[in-house]
Structure 1
Amino acid sequence: MMIVGLTGGIGSGKTTVAKLFSEFDNVAIYIADYEAKKLMNSSKTIKDKLIKEFGELAFINDALNRKYIAEIVFRDKEKLAKLNAIIHPEVKKHFEKFVKINNKKNYIIYENAILFETKSNLICDVIITVYADVNTKIQRVIARDSSTKKEVLNRMKNQWQDCKKILQSNYIIYNENLDETRKRVREIHNILTGKASIF
């Protein structure tokens, strides 16, 4: 089974690219951030560890207090590392089950904003990085999350720079124009489908 890591900085449009890949029948898509959010609310192991690390305010009425945790971790790299250390092993186990269920697909897209930061690139056979101009990314996040420019820049500081990701990637998608992005996704899909038989 071929695992294709899909990554990119905040606001690069990874989710849009993942949706374009999901249009192909023989591809399974795993969105690590979405699955992590679900696990944070459903896994007792994660919940207990988060409360121990971040205090009782980490959960309100049995639901994750995302705003509270985000305010802490995006100001403190050590706390962010601790958060990832709590969540990442559980996401990894969950993903391993997903791979078994989808082992008949040509390949699996594993979309993860912090693919390199969590060393998840090591489980991938191929890596695709999505990138866009900094101003485009900032505007997208402000529009999506109602964040301030300062908040977006703080979050960007906690991620690897695009150039570092690009150097370690097999394919690059410059995501500024949807039609061009769609065309590039199809090109990469055709190459990967050809390679899938090797794995």
Structure 2
Amino acid sequence: MTRPTIIGLTGSIGMGKSTVADMFERAGIPVFDADAEVRAMQGPQGELIPAIEEAFPGSTGPDGVDRDALGKLVFGDTEALARLEAIVHPAVAAKRAQFLKDNAETTMLVFDIPLLFERGGHDAVDTVVVVSAPPEIQRERVLARPDMTEQKFEHILSLQVPDADKRKRADHVIDTGTTLEETEAQVRALIAALRRKRGQR
């Protein structure tokens, strides 16, 4: 049996990756959302709560991880961030493996992974789709978020592979600096092209 084509979907903060992931889902393509899985595992009664509380005392409560408290403990501290990632990343990998198993009979699926290049995940996908927009649009979107500051934005950017480099390394680029309709048309055209590549209509 031919396995699904695995699409690695990525993009820097504020580029519209989640919006594009929704467009893939609406087109009938299963999407594994790494961030959503992390939120669930860190939410109320989440399976990662005990390990995170043990590593970072006081960072969890009845509602799960206190994102502000945990953020203060790891923000700018590479060693602390590495400890957190050592808890989270293996759990996400296990969820992703189960998703792949559950969707083994589909023709294609999407791994929505924000840090695809940063963590070397691009080697585990068949084609890389980068979501991109002009820097001024990115900045406007990000700074409109609650509790976002210029300092936080710049720090997040410093941890990410630059957008220009992502676009160079991408197999396909989806431009979100346009209307939603035009972006969705790009997504549908890409799905059609990937199906043709597999010899499907």
**Normalising by the residue count of structure 2, what TM-score does the alignment of the two structures yield?**
0.87
Pick the aligned partner of 2:31 from 29, 38, 46.
29
In the superposition, relative to structure 1, how do residues 3 and 40 fare at CA in structure 2: closer, same or farther (>3 Å)? same
Alpha-carbon distance in structure 2 between the residues aligned to 1:78 and 1:131: 30
State the secondary structure of the residue aligned to 2:131: strand
Q: Which runs of 4+ in 1 moved over 6 A?
A: none
1:135-155 CA-partner distances (Å, limit 9, x unpaired): 222221232334122222221
**Residue 181 of structure 1: how far off its partner (Å):** 1.4
Q: What one-letter code is carried by the residue in structure 1 that aligns with 2:50?
A: D
State the identity %: 29
SS in 1 for 2:145: helix
Q: Secondary structure at the match of 2:143?
A: helix
Local SS of the residue matching 1:118: coil
Structure 2: how far apart are the matches of 1:62 and 1:11?
A: 26
CA deviation after TM superposition for structure 1 residue 113, in Å: 0.8
The alpha carbon displacement at 1:168 in A equals 2.2
Unaligned runs of 5+ in 2: none
Partner of 2:12: 9
Instruction: Give the Cα–Cα distance (whole angstroms) in 1 for the partners of residues 166 and 145 of structure 2.
Output: 24
RMSD over aligned Cα, in angstroms?
A: 2.0
* Structure 1, gaps ≥5 residues long: none
| Matched position secondary structure for 2:174 | strand
- 2:42 aligns with 40
Does residue 168 (structure 1) correspond to residue 172 (structure 2)? The answer is no
Distance change in 2, residues 1:190/1:151 (3 Å)? same
Q: Which amino acid aligns with 2:186?
A: R
* Contact 2:27/2:188, CA 8 A, preserved across alignment: no
In 2, Cα distance between equivalents of 1:123 and 1:114 = 13
Higher normalized helix content (fraction of residues): 1
CA distance in 1, matches of 2:118, 2:42: 19
Q: Give TM-score scaled by structure 1 length.
A: 0.88
Distance in 2 separating the partners of 1:197 and 1:103: 18
Using the TM superposition, give the Cα deviation of residue 39 of structure 1 relative to its aligned residue in structure 2, in angstroms.
Answer: 1.6
- Corresponding position of 1:191: 193
Distance 1:31 1:158 in 2: 20
Deviation at 1:4, TM superposition (A): 0.6
Q: Is the 8 A contact 1:12 1:132 kept in 2?
A: yes
Describe how 1:79-94 pairs up with structure 2 within 5 A: 79-94=80-95
Change (3 A) 1:147 1:62: closer
Aligned equivalents of 2:75 and 2:134: distance in 1? 22
Query: What secondary structure sits across from 2:130 in the alignment?
Result: strand
